[in-house]
Chain A
């Protein structure tokens, strides 16, 4: 029996499986009309497409620019509801190994008193690799985060309209504040946002595989029990062995 190895094509295929189960599980539209209106600007990818089409896409790829955004179910026990919206970047396949992957998630919620949508962002990344030697730095630099890790993001303008605040033109730096409502800006909050550090801290994750990274994203949002319910009965995921099995068991241990 062939056991998938971390970051190989079998691992990649199972990562798509996790993401399709997550997206496919969401059949309830967001409760907030403001968030619903915001999401209309971002076409959603279906669980079926993640299952059937995404694995056939050539690498490297950025999901939202090829197929759409992953929109998940509201986070539990949050009022007002918090809706996760995610995209995925996957690097090239080299010698049968995916070079890198990042899942970016924005958590959208309605800020009712301002009549706007508030967002917080996080990225979940694969291990950094040593930098390539350059003429000025001939020795490869060891990576700061040689493990899967999560970091905050406060803006999102690369390759797309800003998911967090549409008034920002594409490509313009985003500080995470909706400047379209200049008169209503909470200056204290602006200062707090500017203090948000996006490179540190970088929280190490237990995942060592792409599948584990995707499952980690799910677990951070919904917790262990819902993650086990979502992934535990899956025909493929329940039968996988090796490091992927260890990653999944660490998040959602079987009773």
Chain B
């Protein structure tokens, strides 16, 4: 279990064994997924939880929830302990068994009682709030084959750390960006190292710590956009800046609306808060580029920062490094604390050096393609208008064959 792992792991050569638990209402599909993930991560422990065992775990997560809401504490050596031990928890979206699903022997109809009509998103909520699972993945929510969301916001309120489709689960780039082949959305986290990032943040911060301290930013209230405030369930910018991790855990935005009198252990509340803050930053703050900005968008807007600027492979090489401690450009603006929390390098937008005199963007400077996480010349890419707030809603893709891009109305002519 990653809890015993050295925190702040750099790079993506994960030496220790990740414990990956795959849950579905169909035993055969779960095992198929497990086989495919093992091929990508031969050193990981990959376990497919049979439908009945999964139903038992969901039952006990619900019991933990009931106990917490009644102000009681429940033992955690129940059937949901398998979820506690998961560094990465993979959940199918639709947990109602098909007619021909392989459920296994279920004399107490646990599957019918606790899985049927449940959604992976609901189990993700239970796992996030009432277990110590690491990263959470939901598979096949809204789409069953590779679909790139041109709004860039469709799942941004979702509680899972990443949403993928069946055919993306064994995309090597999902687990390790350095192994990306062609299709590798920039919005995906580096999944194999995400659990360690979460644990490092949990070890570093307390519930009473202000989130601004975790972001290493000071007062950024003047820069917040309305959507960034509202998505965190806050009234105004000042209340965002004043939030503690406890406030995030209790918020209805990216927290889980945990009531103060819920008797969840502090460690669970902190985990909820850390994961929620990470998701808010990753999905709502960084994409808007007004407070924090990540590497590809930083160099796209400031191409003079790129050594060997005339060669597109030099741009790709810069972005291929997911180091969170060693900034390849603009070191004075680099934000190590936020980078470690996010698991991707980010810079403070306000500290990015001004454009040097005589420098400008050139027609030969490439643009960043959000679907492949690579750079291409403007005319070799396709523009789209996302739903992001602020001045940087305009983005680009390369259009990988076999991938659906939706909704097509967002594509620029």
Contacts and interface: CB of A to CB of B under 8 A. Distances in A.
A238 B361 contact: yes
Given A2-B379, A233-B301, A233-B391, A239 B361 contact: yes
B223 to A, nearest CB: 16
Nearest to B301: A233
B383 A236 contact: yes
B394 interface: yes
Contacts of A236: 378, 383, 394
A51 B360 CA distance: 24
B394 A235 contact: yes
Contacts of B385: 48, 51-52
A56 interface: yes
Given A2-B379, A233-B301, A239-B363, A255 B357 contact: yes
A31 interface: no
Nearest to B360: A254
A255 B364 CA distance: 20
A1 B385 CA distance: 23
Interface stretch (B88-96, B100-108, B261-269, B405-413): B405-413
Interface in B354-413: 357, 360-365, 367, 377-379, 383, 385, 391, 394, 396, 409-410, 412-413
A22 to B, nearest CB: 13
A37 to B, nearest CB: 26
A55 B409 CA distance: 12
A239 B410 contact: no
B360 A52 contact: no
Interface residues of A, number: 20
A241 interface: yes
B156 interface: no
Interface string B334-363: 000000000000000000000001001111
Given A1-B364, A52-B385, A255-B357, A239 B378 contact: yes
A52 B410 contact: yes
A239 B361 CA distance: 6
A2 B364 CA distance: 11
A13 interface: yes
B45 interface: no
Report, as a range, how many residues of chain B touch the other chain.
20 to 34
A221 interface: no
A240 interface: yes
A9 to B, nearest CB: 9
B290 interface: no
Interface in A98-128: none
Contacts of B300: 235
B363 A13 contact: no
A13 B391 contact: no
B377 A1 contact: yes
A162 to B, nearest CB: 33
A238 B364 CA distance: 10
Given A1-B377, A255-B357, A52 B363 contact: no
B391 A56 contact: no
A51 B412 contact: yes
Nearest to A240: B363
A190 to B, nearest CB: 45
A51 B362 CA distance: 23
Given A235-B300, A235-B394, A239-B362, A13 B413 contact: yes
B412 A239 contact: no
B306 to A, nearest CB: 14
Given A1-B379, A52-B385, A254-B360, A239 B413 contact: no
30 contacts: A1-B363, A1-B364, A1-B377, A1-B379, A2-B379, A13-B412, A48-B385, A51-B385, A51-B394, A52-B385, A52-B409, A55-B412, A55-B413, A234-B394, A235-B300, A235-B367, A235-B378, A235-B383, A235-B396, A236-B378, A236-B394, A238-B360, A239-B363, A239-B365, A239-B378, A240-B363, A241-B363, A245-B363, A254-B360, A255-B357
Given A1-B363, A233-B301, A238-B361, 12 more contacts: A51-B385, A51-B412, A52-B412, A233-B391, A235-B300, A235-B367, A235-B383, A238-B360, A239-B361, A239-B367, A240-B363, A255-B357
